Structure 1
Amino acid sequence: HLIDDQNKLIQLFDPPFDKSSPHPGYIIGYPPGVRENGGQYTHGALWVALAYARLGNGTRAVELLRMMSPTEHTRTAEEAIKYKGEPYTVAADVYALEGQRGRAGWTWYTGSSGWMYRIWIEEILGFKLRGNRFCFDPCLPKTWKGFSFVYSYKDSSYSITVENPDGVSQGIVSVEVNGKKSSEKWIPLHDNGRNNRILIRMGALKPTGEAGAKGDKVTR
């Protein structure tokens, strides 16, 4: 009951502290439903989306990420008046206070914007960069048929295409590097001055003991 789809917020807890004994500490200094006192504390709320992604539910993970996106709160004049925050910066908190439910709190300073970026890139798109190599382990909504982007590495570039023809949330069945199939999970980065082409195809993995997207090899 902490996820409010209608008002696009995820409460930290409910009901909030009001007149509590024993005294819960500084948290009661905020009005009930504001910031940590029962409102949406975005830094923590983002971990709910992360958890859904790691459970393999890409559809719900993306729904929650969009729910916390300032753009989704300001698509119409009516929504913008209710939200009262900028459409281009993440709010640290969103009110659950009656009469102000769905209103943005503090903006511009929150570290939750970094978490939002990482969850989109690493958990949804599945692009994980570690030193001079990278791998993919996407968790997509089943309606997504794929995506593409270009990653720049020194004087080289990597044109990466992920295809999802079967509409799965997870599972990589093949990887091609510059037109050649690869069975390795990790793709090394080379400063070769080229535009390197990476093609990743998603699909249902074989229900065997073979290593899949999270192992050392790609399941065929």
Structure 2
Amino acid sequence: AMLGHGDQAYAYLRAYLPAAYNDRAEIREIEPYVVCQSTHGKSSPKHGVSRLPWLSGSATWTVFAISQYILGIRPEYDGLRIDPCIPSDWKGFTARRRFRGKMFEITVVNPDHVEKGVKSLTVRGEAMEGNLIPESAMKETNVVQVVMG
């Protein structure tokens, strides 16, 4: 996602998520929705078996990667940056996020089916320059419209 390849980033994410292994649940031996700490590799006699569910920091990093780099909703010192990197076949997405005590209702549309790039960003109907919402433009509730392109 950091390189701007939304299709590839999403493919890697899908391959990593626990649901990708549901067809091998009897091999994994853990809950099908859990990110575990380790999985036996190909050289192990227990290849594919996962161990230590619920003891991994990977779940936190997964949420971080999805929210801040695929959806691109990233808190920064100067404000809230909206910089999505999504699969080209996505029409867009919606998200709600609280930032510095204020609510953001974000709608991203992708009419040109690009993987990355913000053509326009408005907050409560007011056009912003670039893809950063500065703190000075934030109110208690912020309806954000993003057009990719």
SS in 2 for 1:116: helix
SS in 1 for 2:93: strand
TM-score w.r.t. length of structure 1: 0.60
Count of residue correspondences: 147
Superposed CA RMSD: 2.1
Residues 54-93 of structure 1: pairs in structure 2 closer than 5 A: 54-74=2-22, 76=23, 79-93=24-38
Give the Cα separation in 2 of the matches to 1:121 and 1:170: 15
Counterpart residue type for residue 188 of structure 1? P
Counterpart residue type for residue 108 of structure 1? W
Aligned to 2:89: 143
Write out the 4+ residue segments of structure 1 that deviate beyond 4 Å after TM superposition. none
Q: Report if the CA contact (8 A) 1:133-1:188 is conserved.
A: yes
* Structure 2: gaps of 5 or more residues: none
SS in 2 for 1:166: coil
Query: Which structure shows the higher strand fraction?
Result: 2
Aligned residues with identical type, % of pairs: 31
TM-score w.r.t. length of structure 2: 0.85
Q: CA deviation at 1:156?
A: 3.6
Counterpart residue type for residue 27 of structure 2? K
Deviations 1:39-70 (A, max 9, x none): xxxxxxxxxxxxxx222221121111111111
Q: Report the CA distance shift for 1:153/1:91 in structure 2 as closer, same or farther (over 3 A).
A: same
Larger Rg: 1
Give the Cα separation in 1 of the matches to 2:57 and 2:139: 35
Counterpart residue type for residue 197 of structure 1? V
Residues 194-213 of structure 1: pairs in structure 2 closer than 5 A: 195-203=141-149
Deviations 1:90-138 (A, max 9, x none): 1122222355333212221112222211111111111111246210221
Q: Report the CA distance shift for 1:128/1:191 in structure 2 as closer, same or farther (over 3 A).
A: closer
Give the Cα separation in 1 of the matches to 2:100 and 2:73: 18
Counterpart residue type for residue 14 of structure 2? R
